Structure 1
Amino acid sequence: MKVSGYQIFWIVSVSSMIVFSYLPIKLAAEKSHQDSWISILLGGMIMMAITWMVLLVCRQNMDKTLVGFMKDLLGTVLGKIIVTAYFLHWFMQMSLIAKGTADFQNLVMLHNTPMIVILSCMMFLAVYALYRGGITVIGRCAEIIGPLFVFMLYAQLFLNPQDMDMKRILPIYADTGWFSILEGTLSSVNYMIDPSIILMLFFFAENKQTASRAILWGTAVSMLWGVIATLVVLFVTG
């Protein structure tokens, strides 16, 4: 099973933007208020640096899966422990996102539908796609859905210009200071993007060089989305 660099770009972009929209903006705003966009920008720079370092590790172990090179780097016992902990963390994070998606669907479209029914339908779709084609199906879905999804997310930010006032982000820095801005960065950066998804995807890339560029660009697109989305929220709500 292989995926192209183009498919990896959309997988990283879509998954990162979904995770990014879930908590980071809220956590940054609680600490740094109208300067939360600076916290998000700093967090984005940190995540780009982490992504670059993860890519260096992946390129040194191009012919190995995550499980394989973790065992080589850390030993069989410690490697298995860390990989197990990583997968448990991944499933917990995905369960939170799945529940959030089901809550949104229940609130907006399916008011009287039991939550277990919505979750069951989502899980059936995911399991069926993996059963039929694994990562290949995910890549093909991403390259079709990805452009539409990213376009809609960016476009909807600018649908209510009459409610935006750029002066609502003022004063910059004066009311919060660097400590609050950094506090907002540290509280939100853990929930921005999970660069460790790269550790799983990179092994399946057809062209490793193209995949590296695609991952960096995908991360950059989602980071740009985070900064612009935070600014738009501040322009509207203050």
Structure 2
Amino acid sequence: MFVRTDEKLTTTQAIVIVSNFMLGSGILTLPRTLAEEMKTPDGWITVVLGGLIIMLVGICIVKLCQQFPGETFFQFGKKIVGSWIGHLLGILMVLYFMCLSAFEIRVMAEVTMLYLLEGTPLWAIIMFFMWIGLYLASGGINPIARLFEIILPITFVVFIFSMALSYKIFDIDNLRPVLGDGILPVIRGLKSTILVYAGYEVMLIVTAKMQQPKDGVKAMVIGTGIPIFLYIVTIIMVIGAMSIDGVVRSTWPTLDLMRSFEIAGLLFERFEFFLLVIWIMQIFSTFSICHYTASLGLSQIMNKKIKPIMYLLLPIIFLVAMLPKNVNELFEFGDFIGNISIYLVGLVSIILLLMSKVFKKGAVEQNE
């Protein structure tokens, strides 16, 4: 199978790639993570602030990429900081995407084994999804984008419908008082939101593949806005229905919310199955684009064909995914990835943007 790397993405496809990348495993665990960190029901404020910060960082990434039309981060990095440091940053970015893909595929396997395929070996579930992801990524970024265009609208409709059905057990008092403990818990919870917004960094390669790179900021803003909205709905409905204490005691609070009520008289009385299936598709989407991005980066650094590298990275990602011994270690691994995202992607991208402006690297931006 020949991997096409010259196809261009529409602005809509760029938007759905960013949104699907962000809507991974975080939505299943975010309420518990914020509840443990903040001890207050103000997580929705943290989600808004964290989303806006990520949006600004994402815009900086787009502006950086627009300085080097048609080139990804792995190609133009060395033009800013030199060949040696540029290749080092590229390799670190490849490792980051590999770790993120391993984390997502492991979370998907854990959830699948717990709720759908009880008793199935973890390694079997991971290998099955990885081979499907390899088949998708082998076609290039356009088949990935076309699949995302199908998955995202379905996810949005099913998720909002499922959350709306929980209104009978929703209690607004569980969200009060607003800022009862001040602003410090909100600030303390910002760090916990970084991992759930992992995905903005995909613009490091998507901008180069857009038909209209000048629409990169638009794609970033809208692509980030959709997850922000869904995460706000998640936090409000889950904490409002289960309370802070109930959320802290749950490993997968969003799924447990769906299991905590029944709607009599409908064709289906339990709805966690639909949400679970849709979110497995979302996590699979995140894994696929991570695997593709890591493979593309390594192929451009080494100046080799991408398809053999996809096969090469597959067993490495599998081994990394199997490293955590339990769910707690898996969540610690996720926190580690979130910390790496702050410094390697966010901070480095801003520094590179400033350097490209100061030293006048790349193309001169045209007035829009």
* Bin for the TM-score computed over the shorter chain: over 0.9
Q: Distance in 1 between matches of 2:45 and 2:217?
A: 27
Q: Give, as a single letter, the amino acid of the residue that structure 1 aligns with 2:150.
A: I
Unaligned runs of 5+ in 2: 1-6, 244-368
Of 177, 185, 197, the residue aligned with 1:180 is 185
The answer (yes or no) to whether the contact 1:4–1:206 under 8 Å persists in 2 is: yes
Counterpart in 1 of 2:222? 217
For this pair of structures, how many residues does the alignment match? Answer: 236
- Report if aligned partners of 2:9, 2:211 keep a CA contact under 8 Å in 1: yes
Task: Supply the distance in 2 between the matched residues of 1:190 and 1:128 (Cα, whole angstroms).
Answer: 26
SS of corresponding position for 2:101: helix
What is the aligned counterpart of 2:168 among 157, 162, 165? 162
Residue in structure 2 matching 1:236, options 218, 238, 241: 241
CA contact (8 A) 1:2 1:204 kept: yes
Shift of residue 210, structure 1, vs aligned partner? 3.4
Which residue of structure 1 aligns with residue 341 of structure 2? none
Q: Which ranges of structure 1 fall in alignment gaps of 5 or more residues? A: none
CA contact (8 A) 1:70 1:79 kept: yes
User: Following superposition of structure 1 onto structure 2, how do residues 81-230 of structure 1 map, counting pairs within 5 Å?
Assistant: 81-131=88-138, 133-174=139-180, 176-230=181-235
Q: Sort the Cα spacing of 1:53 and 1:22 in 2 relative to 1 into closer, same or farther, 3 A.
A: farther
What residue in structure 1 maps to residue 67 of structure 2?
A: 60
Label 1:23 to 1:200 Cα distance change in 2 as closer, same or farther (>3 A): farther
TM-score by length of 1: 0.92
Matches of 1:129 and 1:189, distance apart in 2? 27
Q: Which structure ranks higher in relative contact order (CA pairs < 8 Å, sequence separation ≥ 6)? A: 1
Percent of matched pairs sharing the same residue: 22
Instruction: Give me the whole-angstrom Cα distance separating, in 2, the residues matched to 1:117 and 1:126.
Output: 14
1:7 corresponds in structure 2 to 13
CA shift in 2, pair 1:148/1:223, >3 Å: same
Per-residue deviation at 1:211? 4.1
Please tell me whether the aligned partners of residues 172 and 240 of structure 2 are also in contact (alpha carbons under 8 angstroms).
yes
After the TM superposition, which parts of structure 1 deviate over 6 Å for at least 4 consecutive aligned residues?
A: none
Retained in 1: the 8 A contact 2:113–2:122? yes
CA deviations 1:173-207 (Å, max 9, x no partner) are 12x22222101112323442332111021111112
Secondary structure of the corresponding residue to residue 165 of structure 2: coil
1:30 aligned residue: 36
Shift of 1:80: 0.9
Q: What is the CA RMSD across the aligned residues, in angstroms?
A: 1.6
State the one-letter code of the partner of 1:82: L
Q: 3-state DSSP class of the match of 2:23? A: helix
Looking at secondary structure, tell me which structure has more helix per residue. 1
One-letter amino acid matched to 1:155:
F
The alpha-carbon distance between structure 1 residues 24 and 62, as it changes in their structure 2 partners (threshold 3 A), is: farther
